[in-house]
A and B are shown apart, each in its own frame.
Chain A
Amino acid sequence: MIENGFNRRDFLKVLGWGGAVVALSGCGNTSVQDGAEIVTSYVEPPEYALPGIGVYFNSTCAQCDAGCSITGRVREGRVLKLEGNASSAINRGKLCGLGQAGVQAHYNPDRVREPLLRNGDKGEAITWDKALGLINEKLNGVKGDEIAFLTGAVSGHVKVLLKNYLEALGSKNHYAYDAVAPSVVRAANKKAYGVEMPRLRLDKAQVVVSFGADFLGAWVSPVHFSQEYAQFRKGSDGARGVLVQIESKMTLTGANADRWIAIRPGTEGILALGVINALDAAGLSLPADVAAVSKAYNAERVSKDTGVSAEQISKLATLLKARTPSLVIAGGAAEGYKHGSQNAAAIALLNRVLGNIGKTIEAPANVPFPQVAVTTGNRSSVQALNDSMANGKLKVLFSYGVNPVFTAPAALKFQDNLKKVSFKVVFANYLDETALAADLVLPLDSALEDWGTAVPEYLVEAAQLNIQQPLMEKLHAGTRGTGDILLALLKQRRANEYKDYEDFYSYLRSAVVKNKSALGGAGADDDTFWGETLSEGLVKLPASNGALSAKSSAAGLVLPAPAEEDSAYPLHLIPAVTANLRDGRHANQPWLQESPDPLTTIVWDSWVELHPKTAAKLGIVEGDIVEVTSRSGSVKAQAYLFPGIHPDAVSIPLGNGHTALGRWAKGVGINAFSLLDQVVDKDTGELALNETRVKIGKTGKRVMIVKDEGAAGGSQAGKKIAVSASTDEVELSGEV
């Protein structure tokens, strides 16, 4: 009889359908051919699979931690394109370029295909059995606190397994590392609002003042914020929202602001207090504790400290007073200093003063299952890990989803300390810098082949459990899912507990189905519920919104005076997090490399952004190869003159400068992490990303910068191409 066995992966089988597959160079052959191509048909087809017709599967984007839901277009068993899943409140059917490049992470020719064991300088391919056995062997006799697991932000059932595994090993050393996370802001938010990441209602705000939060580009949940931004701009009945961005280096969000204010690096908090002072002057009544702090920040002083004109400050205060509700956001640029926590606290005060808390700053949804909620990454964890490695306390280190050898600041000497760990296991998609330093590399399934769940940190409306499911058959037989590996490792320790689960899929299915009543599937048949969950791609968790505690207090808020001139290293380095490359893990996806940086339009390289004034002073012109030297290191890169940066600052984008990772990443650009000094935020101990001072010297070489922008350099040459109007020239109400 025909088998009715339900093995989902069979359906995902790649189908060789001659005519439907694109033969390369399709335009060459003009004649009809007979018998040249082979048609492979299904052995057993699923009901819905018809050659020539696209099928859509829902899953979750793994390119960043925002947790957008995706829909993969699958034809003949191949995933062709990722689109947004409309049923997710986070991205509502939209997807950014980074997310769409997920297919390139999946089809990437540089993926690791089998477990590799270090043999001298080379990796030797071994079997999974051997690899897992080796781990078991190496762990024998090692004490729990000599073992550490380094991950990025982690959530869902992989997190559960991870936690259980560490528990089984008797280790408490889980380090969640994220090189560019807004960890100081989280801590400040926790203080000010009682939650790490409140829900920011851009759509409700009339004015948004962002202190360096690049929420349209790379901050927290850009796709979601972009959608809210669109609503905010449209406003209701033509009351268009106003965006003011205050930062030292223009981000994508800054480029879209109605007013972009260049501020002396590190003085964001001072300006926030200055605005409060101006609001006071404009007649807004302030709480006593706030007034006590802000009264010292009169316009004159603030203007002198921040470089923002008094007129600008008063205009901003007037605007904030006139249009409510407003929303003030503290972002990456404000938090990246020694006094980052204070900056963020001062900025949070603005929200309190303006009465935004509860209006545009809402409590996020609670995740009813804390064991799957996200463990966010931060930078202090890698410092802690580094310390324990340096002390020689660690024997075995697992690393998954992060690349600290590339992203840790040079001053940590992470790579050297890593050598002190006797056995390093890296779960890897690519042979990145960290994988190359490993003793054992475990090749992972791509995000489009793997099972999993995820709970995003930034939640909208309700909490949701995102389902990650394979969109197609595995490309390489030798890779395994993260969950599968963890499960196999757990079975080594707690065989009994996990013996019922053949693989991670069965574990996941039973874990979700077991809780179906709590997940809104009460009364449904297991298979139906599971099938619906998979087809939806996410489960909405029962809502229970927490409350905000507006306990931000101005007491104890001390902002240091602007940093002294440093004659040896006169410039502030602002490492820029770009929407495409983030911390560099996606550098081997060619669409992202070739997609021009929105602001400079540079492709396939790193660059040093300089204000034309600074450049003139140093005698630098565009394309000069300059040497940027900090106390911790130096790099050489092309200079780009940029009107969106404070003259005291230089900026280098992060993400490029890989020495490994793959054919499209290796040797492209320079690594700005290697310049960073080890300076931390006083309150949180987080690395202060913007606190590095540098000096710039010419090398005498010059190159043509490879960029999309032509010789006109972003000028419209008097033509009406991209037209701007001011709000009093247009009538927006009634627009479709």
Chain B
Amino acid sequence: MSVTNLLENWSQFRHGHPVDDKPHEEYKWAMAIDLDACTGCNACSVACYAENNIPVVGKEKFNAGQQMHWMRIERYWPEDGREFADQGAQFLPMMCQQCEAAPCETVCPAGATNHTADGVNSQIYNRCVGSRYCSANCPFKVRYFNWYDYPSTDNVWPAEMTQQLNPDVSVRSKGVMEKCTFCVQRMTAAKNTARNEGRLVRDGEVQTACQQACPTNAISFGNLVDPESKVAKQWAHQQVELSKEVQAKDAQEGGTDLRGYRIMEELRLYPSVMYLERVRESAI
């Protein structure tokens, strides 16, 4: 009976995340993006379109703000009032930050977006009723809604183009919210292989599409639980911790020599994506 279940496992049901006394068990997928390496070339974004069956909406709908890119490259200009942007632009690849305390998850009325045991924010398309509350509550605005039925919209996927669609990823119909999944289909496949061989997924065995495409290797992705993984080492070196909301870099006055940070930590979302500051030479 569920009430017995409720009472028996009470302490388990009363645990929150992220906490140090109940860490992730096997996997905690996370990312590190080196902004000094990112050149803003958009290869990751196109890779994401290819991997995840993202519709190309066309000019008119793009203009209406209905674009679907799960991974967008943002371009910021330094605001110091110079005549020229003589320190270049600042690029930032932005996708779902897979927050540990994701504001989108609590507000979904249907429970279509949840936190998986691997520490990823899941989005179950066929459970989605389209209330868009998750998007309303997302501070990064990285959730994308199917405003139209793109599969049946002209020139989104003409018959020939449908052959390109990835069978491991649902094609979303109208009225469904979608977002970056950290390429869950690739994680699932890698975990499947690993289980066949009775081991855990090795570092580098699963790559996200964006990571795979990135010509400068600016993106690293892996299992934070595995201390030997590149991403765990990067996080450790930058002294960025999942369950902290102020990282070493910002903890002290004047900062440290580190450059790892997460965006909008003050909102206590505990994102799984760490960014490394862009660097500019001071001698020129």
Contacts and interface: CB of A to CB of B under 8 A. Distances in A.
Contact between chain A and chain B defined by CB under 8 Å: yes
A93 B43 CA distance: 13
B198 interface: no
Interface stretch (A190-198, A250-258, A417-425): A250-258
Contacts of A80: 50, 164-167
B90 A78 contact: no
B157 A24 contact: yes
A725 B280 contact: yes
Contacts of A100: 43, 46-47, 50, 213
Contact of B155 (A81, A315, A663, A735): A663
B172 interface: yes
Nearest to A706: B63
Contacts of A256: 39-40, 88-89, 91
Given A22-B171, A26-B171, A233-B36, A722 B91 contact: yes
A97 B213 CA distance: 8
A538 B67 CA distance: 38
B152 interface: yes
B83 A14 contact: no
Interface string A205-246: 000000000001100001100110110011000001010110
Contacts of B281: 240, 242, 258-259, 726-727
Q: Is the interface of A mostly helix, strand, loop or mixed?
A: loop
Closest 9 CB pairs of A and B: A731-B257, A97-B46, A226-B215, A604-B59, A24-B151, A230-B216, A258-B281, A722-B92, A255-B89
Nearest to A93: B212
B241 interface: no
Residue in A253, A592, A719, A720 whose Cβ sees the most chain B Cβ within 10 Å: A720
B280 A25 contact: no
B188 to A, nearest CB: 13
Classify chain B: how many residues form its interface, as a range: 35 or more
Nearest to B92: A722
Interface of B: 35-37, 39-43, 45-47, 49-51, 53, 56-59, 62-63, 67, 69, 72-79, 82-92, 125-126, 128, 149, 151-152, 155, 157-167, 169-173, 176, 209, 212-218, 230, 233-234, 237, 255, 257-259, 261, 263-264, 275, 277-284
A644 interface: yes
A658 B125 CA distance: 38
A148 B53 CA distance: 43
A21 interface: yes
A24 B83 contact: no
Contact of A260 (B63, B85, B216): B85
Interface in A61-86: 75-76, 78-84
B167 A76 contact: yes
Nearest to A580: B42
A496 to B, nearest CB: 40
Interface in A94-110: 94-97, 100-101, 103-104, 107-109
Contacts of B213: 83-84, 94-97, 100
Contacts of A728: 282
A104 B164 contact: yes
B237 A736 contact: yes
A252 B84 CA distance: 15
A648 B149 CA distance: 47
Contact of B83 (A252, A613, A732): A613
A478 B43 CA distance: 33
Interface stretch (A2-10, A486-494, A558-566, A707-715): A707-715
Contacts of A736: 230, 233-234, 237
Contact of A223 (B77, B91, B215): B215
A93 B213 CA distance: 8
B230 A25 contact: no
Residue in A97, A223, A233 whose Cβ sees the most chain B Cβ within 10 Å: A97
Nearest to B35: A722
Q: Is the interface of B mostly helix, strand, loop or mixed?
A: loop
Contact of B91 (A24, A230, A255, A708): A255
A568 interface: no
B39 A28 contact: no
A30 B255 CA distance: 53
B89 to A, nearest CB: 4
Residue in B35, B77, B169 whose Cβ sees the most chain A Cβ within 10 Å: B77
A592 B166 CA distance: 19
B261 A723 contact: yes
Given A590-B56, A730-B257, A91 B215 contact: yes
B181 to A, nearest CB: 15
A97 B88 contact: no
A107 B160 contact: yes
Given A252-B40, A604-B62, A260 B164 contact: no
B46 A595 contact: yes
A723 B265 CA distance: 13
A579 B278 CA distance: 22
Contacts of A131: none
Given A94-B213, A258-B284, A720 B155 contact: no
Contact of B161 (A79, A104, A253): A104
Contacts of A594: 49, 56-58, 62, 67, 69
Residue in B46, B164, B212, B279 whose Cβ sees the most chain A Cβ within 10 Å: B46
A259 B86 contact: yes
A104 B67 CA distance: 19
Contacts of B87: 257-260, 724
A108 B73 CA distance: 26
7 contacts: A95-B213, A109-B161, A260-B84, A262-B84, A595-B46, A730-B257, A730-B259
Contacts of B152: 24-25
Given A252-B40, A594-B56, A732-B279, A75 B167 contact: yes
A230 B167 CA distance: 34
Interface in A596-623: 596, 598-599, 601, 603-605, 613
Residue in A229, A599, A723 whose Cβ sees the most chain B Cβ within 10 Å: A723
Contact of A706 (B62, B72, B215, B234): B62
Contacts of A715: 76-77, 79
B167 A729 contact: no
A94 B214 contact: yes
Given A242-B284, A252-B41, 20 more contacts: A78-B164, A79-B164, A94-B43, A94-B212, A104-B164, A107-B161, A230-B217, A250-B88, A259-B281, A260-B85, A260-B87, A315-B283, A594-B62, A594-B69, A598-B91, A604-B62, A714-B89, A719-B264, A724-B87, A724-B277
A86 to B, nearest CB: 10
Contacts of A720: 261, 263-264
Contact of B284 (A101, A316, A593): A316
A591 B155 contact: no
A107 B164 CA distance: 7
A708 B282 contact: no
B160 A81 contact: no
A27 B172 contact: yes
B268 to A, nearest CB: 15
A20 interface: yes
B46 A591 contact: yes
Nearest to A259: B284
Residue in A227, A255, A316 whose Cβ sees the most chain B Cβ within 10 Å: A255
B92 A216 contact: no
Given A100-B213, A104-B164, A604-B58, A721 B89 contact: no
Interface in A254-312: 254-262
A500 B183 CA distance: 49
